[in-house]
Chain A
Amino acid sequence: QTVVTQEPSFSVSPGGAVTLTCGLSSGSVSTSYYPSWYQQTPGQAPRTLIYNTNIRSSGVPDRFSGSILGNKAALTITGAQADDESDYYCVLYMGSGIWVFGGGTKLTVL
């Protein structure tokens, strides 16, 4: 059973930068997994931030960027703002019509 790994929590100072990662329990994440990133605040539906590794969804500020760093997918947030405090999830397409979400990262801005 493949597990998609994310940092459980992270903190960033207002105005600072942070990189969240999305890895595999076995193997490396590549663009072939079409990594996507979603932001979710309590009680709300997920919001699509990044798809296909590095393409920003409509309306997402360019403070959010996606990439492959080493053997993981990465979401970098620059110029962190208070309303960036959210849960962030990645999802990977495993092939054969199967997707797997990471466990999510709770980002605190303080």
Chain B
Amino acid sequence: DTEVTQTPKHLVMGMTNKKSLKCEQHMGHRAMYWYKQKAKKPPELMFVYSYEKLSINESVPSRFSPECPNSSLLNLHLHALQPEDSALYLCASSQGGQRGQFFGPGTRLTVL
């Protein structure tokens, strides 16, 4: 299994809602990542988990809350988002060495 899966594919939420994005991989990778991508821009790193511990938080607002329940799962909890948070949210995973990152298909988020 060389796949990273993300759910849901699409999400529309109001500014007062609470929702979660989910990411899963079964490649035994020990690093997992959340990225935010706006249209026509490269992905921007949000969080990195390495061995289930938060290693990088790129000054992301607290309305985004990551969680890594185990080595295969990565969640992103959303609360009180703003319309400018509308974007494609990408999850990725990697193993040590020289294999690079594997990306999931993304969740298209729209905040009304």
Instruction: Report whether chain A binds chain B.
Output: no
